[in-house]
């Protein structure tokens, strides 16, 4: 059973996200690994979200124990965690992760960096021995869905990213990008994206400093100047723009260092500092210095333009279709035990008859005919099982073979989380996990019954039953899937 606990810019305040991101991954892994009923977990931690994707045993209530383990590992009280965490139940997890991976839940909707972060999260969990077959399938399918969004829509081709949003906000401060002197502090995941965004604006005077000593290698790879520790003060005093993107997990630009730089002769009248770190890289007191403006992630997300739902509609439909197909495949896999049990039962009866027939027909003709008949009889029930699984009626199949053949011991195909697994946050905000069915408007994609996630904003996604080949909605524009 796949579950998710999510704290993101939509559910948690910046201070909680900062504390979560500062935690040691190994400590979290150790605590979650020890929770009874948890078979695997993938931790996705970015600058605007902290999420656990959990593979838990069916029928086991693990969330209270997981929250307690998170509290111990993160040093955050369960009460505070519950206020910022949103619980995503099993039937919602695929669509939620696919939407996250496609950038539909990012601060900058459609950003491309998140897909790489999701991929690395899976790799880190795999290296730690924390993945399961279900988690591997989930995350690999999420990457495939993200590629589909990139290839079939313009959403990720518009250069959207958190870095570009920050530079857009800096337009009023930087009068001429071509002459601006920029200092990068940090060589983390955002450093390359930041450099590319600066170059696209015509910036040519960029240098880089790394608190961990990686500046020389980064500078050589990107053709810019490296700043050693002894040169940092001079670089700060001459910069028009400072962008920090370090993964050091601590303050790398404090008030005293910046104040010293601002007292140096020949400094520019004003300097803009953009803090892309999570947890923050820059001491907030820096903003109190004369001539210094500070733009951090908390401020950036408050100034993000409203999402253009029209531009993201095709992407949401692709994500919904991928989630529907994933769930159908999972349901088929869960029903395979029942199919195997039926096949074993019928084949067992057939083999008894074959054994008797062979005593009367040494040529084996009767045996061949009986086996062919057995396969013919089993073909239609096997096909129907897959059809019923895909339409959420697998339990009917199980009950039918129990009633007709007395076959018991097949697995329950239900994937709903136990009712007592709803987090305190969800209990306090009923709308956060409420699922309300609605009818899509005429011409709208029938895979979508409401606006996109998060859960407190979206209704239930319904699989499209209108056609076998693909979506027929005018607004969908999603190509017919291959192999149908």
- pLDDT tens-digit readout, 293-306: 999 988 888 877 65
Is 92's pLDDT higher than 80?
yes
Indicate whether 340 belongs to any domain: yes
Token look-up 């039962």 returns 345
Indicate whether 343 belongs to any domain: yes
Q: What is the model's pTM?
A: 0.67
Residue 275 and residue 390 in one domain: no
DSSP state for residue 91 in the 8-state scheme? G
DSSP state for residue 446 in the 8-state scheme? T
Q: Which of 47, 317, 464, 471 is catalytic?
A: 47
Closest to 454 measured CA to CA, from 474, 477, 476, 425? 425
Q: Which residue has the higher pLDDT, 94 or 393?
A: 94
Residues in the chain: 484
- pLDDT category at 350 given cuts 50, 70, 90 is confident
Question: Does 113 carry a binding-site annotation?
Answer: yes
Question: Does 191 carry a binding-site annotation?
Answer: yes
Is 126's pLDDT higher than 90?
yes
Question: Does 171 carry a binding-site annotation?
Answer: no
What's the confidence (pLDDT) of residue 471?
39
In the chain the first and final C-alpha atoms are separated, in Å, by 28
Are the C-beta atoms of residues 420 and 61 closer than 8 Å to each other?
yes
Domain count, the chain: 3
Question: Does 190 carry a binding-site annotation?
Answer: yes
Burial (CB count within 10 angstroms: exposed 0-12, middle 13-18, buried 19+), residue 3: buried
Closest to 331 measured CA to CA, from 384, 382, 379, 385? 385
Question: Does 298 carry a binding-site annotation?
Answer: no
- pLDDT category at 343 given cuts 50, 70, 90 is confident
Active site residue 47: yes
Q: Which residue has the higher pLDDT, 471 or 164?
A: 164
Residue 128 and residue 69 in one domain: yes
Is 439's pLDDT higher than 60?
no
For the domain that residue 74 is a member of, what is the CATH number?
A: 3.30.460.30
What's the confidence (pLDDT) of residue 483?
38
Return the half-sphere exposure (C-beta side, CA atoms, 13 A cut-off) of residue 476: 24
Domain boundary among 88, 117, 152: 152
Indicate whether 461 belongs to any domain: no
Supply the range of the domain harboring residue 58: 2-152
Question: Does 187 carry a binding-site annotation?
Answer: yes
Helix (H, G, I), strand (E, B) or coil at 276: coil
Residue 164 and residue 268 in one domain: yes
């Amino acid at each position: 059973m796949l579950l998710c606990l999510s704290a993101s810019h939509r559910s948690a305040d910046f201070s909680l996200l900062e504390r979560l991101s500062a935690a040691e991954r190994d400590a979290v892994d150790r605590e979650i690994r020890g929770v009874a009923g948890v078979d695997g977990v993938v931790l996705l931690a970015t600058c605007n979200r902290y999420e656990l994707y959990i593979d838990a045993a069916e029928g086991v209530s693990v969330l209270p124990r997981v929250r307690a383990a998170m509290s111990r590992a993160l040093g955050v009280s369960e009460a505070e965690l519950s206020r910022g965490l949103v619980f995503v139940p099993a039937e919602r997890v695929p669509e939620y992760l696919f939407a996250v991976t496609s950038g539909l839940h990012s601060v900058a909707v459609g950003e491309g960096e998140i897909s790489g972060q999701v991929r690395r999260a899976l790799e880190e969990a795999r290296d730690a021995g924390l993945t399961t077959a279900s988690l591997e399938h989930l995350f690999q399918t999420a990457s495939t869905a993200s590629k589909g969004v990139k290839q079939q829509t313009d959403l990720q081709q518009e250069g959207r990213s958190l870095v570009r949003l920050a530079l857009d906000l800096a337009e009023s401060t930087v009068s001429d990008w071509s002459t601006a002197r920029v200092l990068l502090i940090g060589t983390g995941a955002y450093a390359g994206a930041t450099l590319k965004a600066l170059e696209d604006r015509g910036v040519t005077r960029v240098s880089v400093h790394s608190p961990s000593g990686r500046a020389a290698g980064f500078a050589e790879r990107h053709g810019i100047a490296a700043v050693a520790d002894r040169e940092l003060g001079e670089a700060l005093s001459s910069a028009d723009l400072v962008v920090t993107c370090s993964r050091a997990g601590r303050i790398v630009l404090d008030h005293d260092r910046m104040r010293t730089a601002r007292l140096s002769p020949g400094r520019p009248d004003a300097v803009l500092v953009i803090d892309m770190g999570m947890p923050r890289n820059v001491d907030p007191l820096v903003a109190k210095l004369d001539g210094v403006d500070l733009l951090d992630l908390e401020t950036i997300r408050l100034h993000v333009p409203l999402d253009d739902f029209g531009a993201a509609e095709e992407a949401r439909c692709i994500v919904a279709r991928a989630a529907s197909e994933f769930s159908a495949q999972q349901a088929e896999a869960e029903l395979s035990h029942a199919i195997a049990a039926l096949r074993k039962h019928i084949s067992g009866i057939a083999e008894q008859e074959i054994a008797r027939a062979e005593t009367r027909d040494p040529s084996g003709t009767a045996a061949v005919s009986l086996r062919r008949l057995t396969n013919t009889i089993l073909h239609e029930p096997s096909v129907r099982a897959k059809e019923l699984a895909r339409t959420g009626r697998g339990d009917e199949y199980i009950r039918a073979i129990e009633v007709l053949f007395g076959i018991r011991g097949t697995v329950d195909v239900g994937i709903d989380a136990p009712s007592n697994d709803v987090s305190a946050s969800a209990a306090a905000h009923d709308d956060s996990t409420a699922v309300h069915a609605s009818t899509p408007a005429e011409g709208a994609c029938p895979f979508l019954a409401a606006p996109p996630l998060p859960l407190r904003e979206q209704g239930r996604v319904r699989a499209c039953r209108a056609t076998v080949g693909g979506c027929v909605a005018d607004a969908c524009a999603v190509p017919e899937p291959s192999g149908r």
